[in-house]
Structure formats: structure tokens, C-alpha cells
Structure 1
Amino acid sequence: MAAAVPVTSDTDASKARRLGELREFLMSRRARVSPAEAGLPDGGARRRTPGLRREEVAVLAGVGASWYQWLEQGRDISVSPQVLDSVARVLKLSGAERRHLYVLAGLNPPRPEVARDDQEMCEGLHRLIDTWMPQPAHIMDAYWNCVMYNDAAASVLGMRSETSENCLLTFFTDPIYRTRAKSWQRNAPQVVAMYRAACSEHPDDDGFAAVIAEAKAMSPEFVELWERRDILPGGQVAKEIEHPVVGTLFLESTQLKVPARPDLTIALHTPMPDAEVDTAGKLAWLATPEGRRGSIYPVAG
């Protein structure tokens, strides 16, 4: 079996701890899978220990019994991602457990996956951004398509259902946002570099290619910035917004990730301190009935 490149070079002590944890982890996962769950007849025989036997895991995973015994004993042997995936399948590991198995075996873990039980988190995330009021907040998928946004994002940033659903395209093409964003020229290189970093994690994804192609067709400014090939991790962006009702707002946008939903990014905006501009007070007023009436029609300028 071909050896994979290890995550880091272990010291003897850290390797012993890692392999010891690997042994305990595999034993605990094997004990929770019954023969019936694995598709094996139990034969009616009473087992001394719960779960599958080592030999049964080896057969179902298509590996040698001795090799799997060495793996579970925490011996320092070569492993491959393909074999670990077979073991993970037999032991019915979740996505997080599969990544944990890779790390314990000394391999780079696979990309996080969304577990079936975590696919219904959107209601909770909607409550999160609604609770963020009166500050703007929105949630994007991996391609920066807007999944949801709160009322403050609509009134301050001009987010609305009739615009492009993609935040990158909106940044470059929406006239309302372009008019309000006084820091647009300063923010644009950072935004493009952050999007290139997101693309770099999925080099063969047609979804990113489609967004980039559309952005190039719609914006010469994007083309110029994209050709710079700058890369920045998703983080914080300082924005100056000129709102048509309350005037200047200084905001800091922060991208956050939820480990259980690696396909989503939460963008939270917080007021930045300024001696002359009370951004927090203005946001609070915009969320009042009077403020909502004053900004009900999003107009450019």
C-alpha cells in the first residue's frame, strides 16, 4: 500500500500519543457496529465483546486481517486514503469521525462534508442573523450566493430579492451598492483576492468557473483585479457606506464559518468607532418604525 504524505513530522512522544488514540478510537467505533448493521449474520452465537470482530472489519474493508490488527493496535505502519475510507465505511464513521481517523493515522484529512443531520441548520442560522439586528448580516454559500440576509442588510447594503443572488457580482454590478460604498475602490482588490482564495480550495469546481466567467463578462474592473492573482483569506473588510437617509456609516464586515456547515459563510457587520460618526446609533434608528419608513425605498445616491 502506498504511503501518503504525513501531516507533520511527529516526535516519538507525540507519535505514541497519536497512535494510542488511534487504537482507542478504532476499538470504540468497532464496538458500536453490530454484525446485523454490517450486513453479517450473527449466527446466534454469544459474543464476548459487543460489535464487530477485527477479522470481520478486515474482510468487509477488503484488507488483510493482520494489517487491520496492526492498524488497530496503533503500530507505525503505512496507510493510504483509500484503505482508511474502506475502514471508515465499514465502521459507519461520520464525516467528522472520518477526518479524525485521517489525522490519527498521520494523513492530511479530507475536505469537510455536511452531515445529513446538519443540513437543516438554516432556521437556526436565520435566527442568528435576525438577532444581530440592527447590524447588517447575511449568509453566503461556497460560491458567495446569498442564502439569507436580515433587514439591516437590506436597508444599509441595499440587498434585495431582485438583484443578483451572488455577492461578488452584486459588489461589481449593483448600482445602489456602488453608489453607497464610498470605500469601494479600497475594498475591491481585497474582495477579489478573498474570492480567489475561496476558488483555490476547489480548483475543479464548475460553479466557481461560472461565477468568474459571468463577472468577467459584466465588469472590466473585475477582469483587471482578477489578473493580479492576489490571494487573501476571508477575514475582515472595513467599509464606508453613505446611506441616503442617515449619511455616513463606518462598518467592519467579518466572515465566520460554522464547522458543521463548511459550505456556508456568515458575514456579520459591526459598527466601527469614530469620534464624529455614531454608526451604532444610526443603525439603531434605521431599525425603528420611523427609520424603516424613511428608508423603505432603496434609491441610488
Structure 2
Amino acid sequence: MAVKQPDPDGNSRAEVDISAETSTGRVAGQFMGFGAMLKRWRKSAGVTQPPAARALGISVRTYRHIESGATPRFSQKQCDALAALLKLDSDERHALLLYNVGTYLRAAPTEGQPEVGPALRLLIDRQMPSPTYLSDRNWNILAYNQAMAEIWPWATEPRANLIRWALTTAEGRATYHDWHKHATVFVRMLRFAQTTHGEDVDLQELIEDVKKNPDVRHIWESDADLVEHRDGHVFLATVPTLDWRTIEIVSHVAYPAIMPDCRFVVMTWVEAEGDTQRDALGGPRDAWADETHNGERRRDLAQERLAEGDRLRDQDVRTARLAASSAHQAAALAGDDGIPLPALSRLVGPDAQLTLSPSRRNVVWAVKELSGRWGVTRVSPATVIARIQRQPLTDEHLTEMKQLVRYGLPAEPEAALSRIEQLLSEHDAEQHVLREIYKELYGPDYARPASRGDDPREV
């Protein structure tokens, strides 16, 4: 028989099944409401009611009512204090927060980059051919798949950070169409992060870095909105590694349960149709610029993928990102005929190592992670060339670049010659157009475009 037993203060206790009482007076089958769960945690920790009440900043009488069935709504600070006192594990803390604050469990900050487990790496790799990456709560890139490395190789560089790249580099600015709109959303994301972990030194450094850009500082000082993420946003981007083609991207953001502070981002993309009014999902163009992550949006099925996506789909997913214990082990993945590229490696960064694999006709791109291991991705020679070709090159750079270009061409000499002729023709046409535009801009005194190192006004 089930009854409600009043406590001495007149409050109703949780419903219990009296028929289940044992000879010892203990009750089985008690309804496990929050109060009962709290009582079990407290007793498991060997803590009495008065210390628990003090941790919460409430009276013992009020605390007793909560364990008896009253409905509390503790603040985040109270939850943290109670979790520390009762030594709750992650699942218990999660339940405590969900009941009282209504939010997911925030992971405690870690020293350096968190370790990405093999199951999560497998999930990232299996998103092929969609470019996919995992970033921490400050947008530092922790892991990525083959497509991400091929299409956006900046993600493979040491200390790669999405927002720093987007807001402070010329490549980031050239990639996003309507860059100011994107910059505004990124600033709102940074401001949201301040509300959750504003004391984080890494976040503070990121904010100071991006505010060195006058445009970003102006946005920061003139826009006070918040946004958590860019899930479902559809936007146009021009991609250097795809010969500066414009594509339309849909970003999908998820939070892995095992790393709830990290963002799991998958990008699906289609050829831009040139419609300035509607995006690829049929919605108003750039509607995301005025929305928050809470806005309701209609999502349709993704459209057909780019031919580049078809090429990546045909690749063996086992060529996705690997891990090596040392630089020597990473270089060995290029095979016995591997050719080190030290000069180009230095252009990529101090913790990067490029090794050309002639037999596989690709490049082993290795980056030393904070854990001491080396993250390894196999990329095409064209990806490396697209990443560094605008740097001033010495003779050593040019020697290594020549090797890259050769192994980026077809293996058969006749096919390689045909491809070279095609590329030269394309570049000649491009240079001819650039000269014509230069002449129009410079005026009647035009004689010839400047070669590298010349003053463009000299003739």
C-alpha cells in the first residue's frame, strides 16, 4: 500500500510503498526523486545535512525539506559547491546540473589540448568526403579528416585556430564572402564564450589577437549580441585549393558527449548557383547573419555534391589522419623513397614536417601536437603548393617546389607534358587578362606589369 508520510514540519514526504518494508524498518522501492537522489549522494559521501546546507548557503531546515521532496532550483555556483562537497562523479554532476540549471555538463579545463580518443578520430575520418574537424571550446583545431586537410590545409598547421584564421589572415578574409557579416558572428561567438569561461587565458589571448584588426575591434565595440555556434548556416566561400572556386557550404555543429565543450563540425557543400536571393537550402541568403542559434530554421536535404567530393569519396579512407610517436616515425610513412622537404616545412611552421612520397605521389604532412605525438595527414602536392606558393621563395624552396610539381603531374612523360601545356595555356590567359586590367587601372603611361621585385611604376 502506498501512502504519503508527513514530516514534523507538515511537508509531505516522497511517496513510499509501505508493503515493501522489511523487518529492519528499511523501505524498498522508494520513488527516486531529486530529494532521494540527493540524500543517497550525501550518505555515500559520509556527509551530514548541516555541511550540505552550508555548501548551498541555505538553512538546515530548508535542506531537510529538499531531501523530503521539496523542489529546489540551485544555481550553477550552488551546484558546483555541492558537487565538490559530495565528490560527485561526472554523471552525477551532469544530473545535478540538468535538474537545477537545465544545461549540459561543462568539462573542466585541461592543461594543453585534450586527448582525442580513437573512437572520435574514427568518426571524424568516416565523415569523408565531407570536410570535418574537431575544435576545443576556444576553436583550437584538435583533429580533422583527409578532406579538411586537402581543402583547408591551414587546419593542419601548428596551433591552428578557426577564429584567429578567419579574422586575422588575408586567406580567411578572402575565403568568406561578406566577410564583415561572418566577422560579426565570430565576435558574437567570442562574446558568448566569455559568459561561460571568460577567465580562460587562452580565450583572452584569442580575443586580444583578433581585436588587433581594426575592423574586428569596431565590430566588438559596436555589436553586443551573443551566439553560441554556426550550426545550419549556409554561406559562400572561395577556396584557394580548388582554384579559387566559389562553393556554398552548410555547416553542421555537434557536441560529442565525451567532450561536451568541443565542437564536432561537418561541412557539406554544393556548387554555388549564382542566386543572390536564396541559399542552397532554399532560405533567404545570409539569413544567419541576423539569427542566433535558438532561431527556428527549415532544413531540407542536402543537394548534390561537388565533383571534388566525388573524387574524395573514391579515395581509401585509411589514408585519413594518423598519429606517430616521433618525427622520424612520421617521415617513415612516406616510404623508403621518401624525400624530406625541410625548407617548405619551415614555411609551414616550426612544428611541421613535410615529406614527399614519390611512390604514392603525395606528401606526408606531420604536425607536432601538444601531447608530444605527431598528427599525420597525407595530402596531394597541389595542396602544399596552394598553401605556400605566395611566399617569397629561395633557391632551396624552389628546388623542393620543383619536386612537388613534378610528382603532382601524371607519371607518364607524355601525359605530364600535355598537362604542363594545358596549365601554361591557362596561366597565359590569366596573365593576359591581368595585364589588360593593369593597363586600364594604370592609365596611358602603362608599359608592362612589374615583375617580382620591380617598382610597378618603372618601365
- Give TM-score scaled by structure 2 length: 0.46
Assess, with a 3 A threshold, how the Cα gap between structure 1 residues 158 and 203 changes in structure 2: closer, same or farther: same
Letter in 2 for 1:241: A
Secondary structure in structure 2 of the residue aligned to 1:74: coil
Task: Report the CA distance between 1:82 and its aligned residue.
Answer: 7.4
Residue in structure 2 matched with residue 280 of structure 1 by the alignment: 306
CA distance, structure 2, for counterparts of residue 235 and residue 215 of structure 1: 19
Query: In the TM superposition, what whole-angstrom CA distance separates every residue of 1:272-291 from its partner, at most 9, and x where no partner exists?
Result: 47568964332232565699
Residue in structure 2 matched with residue 211 of structure 1 by the alignment: 206
Assess, with a 3 A threshold, how the Cα gap between structure 1 residues 214 and 131 changes in structure 2: closer, same or farther: same
Residue in structure 2 matched with residue 10 of structure 1 by the alignment: none
Q: Determine which of 46, 51, 58 is the counterpart of 2:49.
A: 58
Task: Report the CA distance between 1:223 and its aligned residue.
Answer: 1.3
Q: Contact 1:57–1:87 at 8 Å: present in 2 too?
A: no
Please say if 1:298 is aligned against 2:386.
yes
Q: Contact 2:53–2:60 at 8 Å: present in 1 too?
A: no
Q: Contact 2:141–2:155 at 8 Å: present in 1 too?
A: no
CA distance, structure 1, for counterparts of residue 50 and residue 236 of structure 2: 62
Assess, with a 3 A threshold, how the Cα gap between structure 1 residues 272 and 110 changes in structure 2: closer, same or farther: closer
Query: In the TM superposition, what whole-angstrom CA distance separates every residue of 1:189-242 from its partner, at most 9, and x where no partner exists?
Result: 22222222222322333332211111122x222112222233223133323233
Assess, with a 3 A threshold, how the Cα gap between structure 1 residues 132 and 160 changes in structure 2: closer, same or farther: same
Letter in 1 for 2:37: F
Assess, with a 3 A threshold, how the Cα gap between structure 1 residues 255 and 115 changes in structure 2: closer, same or farther: same
CA distance, structure 2, for counterparts of residue 78 and residue 149 of structure 1: 40
Query: In the TM superposition, what whole-angstrom CA distance separates every residue of 1:243-289 from its partner, at most 9, and x where no partner exists?
Result: 34463321112222124323211221012475689643322325656
Task: Report the CA distance between 1:136 and its aligned residue.
Answer: 0.9
Please say if 1:98 is aligned against 2:93.
yes
Residue in structure 2 matched with residue 265 of structure 1 by the alignment: 263
Aligned 1:1-301 pairs, distance under 5 A:
21-29=33-41, 33=44, 57-58=48-49, 61=52, 69-75=64-70, 88-89=83-84, 91-101=86-96, 104=99, 106=100, 112-114=106-108, 121-162=116-157, 165-217=160-212, 219-227=213-221, 228-236=223-231, 237-243=233-239, 244-245=241-242, 247-272=245-270, 279-286=305-312, 292=380, 294-299=382-387
Query: In the TM superposition, what whole-angstrom CA distance separates every residue of 1:48-76 from its partner, at most 9, and x where no partner exists?
Result: xxxx6xxx643775869877654322246
| RMSD, aligned CA | 4.1
Assess, with a 3 A threshold, how the Cα gap between structure 1 residues 22 and 213 changes in structure 2: closer, same or farther: same
Task: Report the CA distance between 1:126 and its aligned residue.
Answer: 1.8
Assess, with a 3 A threshold, how the Cα gap between structure 1 residues 128 and 25 changes in structure 2: closer, same or farther: same
Q: Which moved more, 1:291-300 or 1:241-250?
A: 291-300
Task: Report the CA distance between 1:111 and its aligned residue.
Answer: 5.8
Assess, with a 3 A threshold, how the Cα gap between structure 1 residues 84 and 168 changes in structure 2: closer, same or farther: closer
Q: Contact 1:238–1:251 at 8 Å: present in 2 too?
A: yes
Letter in 2 for 1:173: T
Q: Contact 1:146–1:166 at 8 Å: present in 2 too?
A: yes
Task: Report the CA distance between 1:133 and its aligned residue.
Answer: 1.4
Larger CA Rg, structure 1 vs 2: 2
Secondary structure in structure 2 of the residue aligned to 1:263: coil
Assess, with a 3 A threshold, how the Cα gap between structure 1 residues 102 and 238 changes in structure 2: closer, same or farther: closer
Assess, with a 3 A threshold, how the Cα gap between structure 1 residues 107 and 264 changes in structure 2: closer, same or farther: closer
CA distance, structure 2, for counterparts of residue 83 and residue 185 of structure 1: 40
Residue in structure 1 matched with residue 5 of structure 2 by the alignment: none
Q: Unpaired segments of 5 or more residues in structure 1? A: 1-14, 39-51
Letter in 2 for 1:280: L
Secondary structure in structure 1 of the residue aligned to 2:306: helix
- Give TM-score scaled by structure 1 length: 0.67
Assess, with a 3 A threshold, how the Cα gap between structure 1 residues 271 and 264 changes in structure 2: closer, same or farther: same
Secondary structure in structure 1 of the residue aligned to 2:204: helix
Identical aligned pairs, as a percentage?
Answer: 21
CA distance, structure 1, for counterparts of residue 91 and residue 251 of structure 2: 29
Higher relative contact order (CA 8 A, sep 6+): 1
Instruction: Count matched residues.
Output: 260
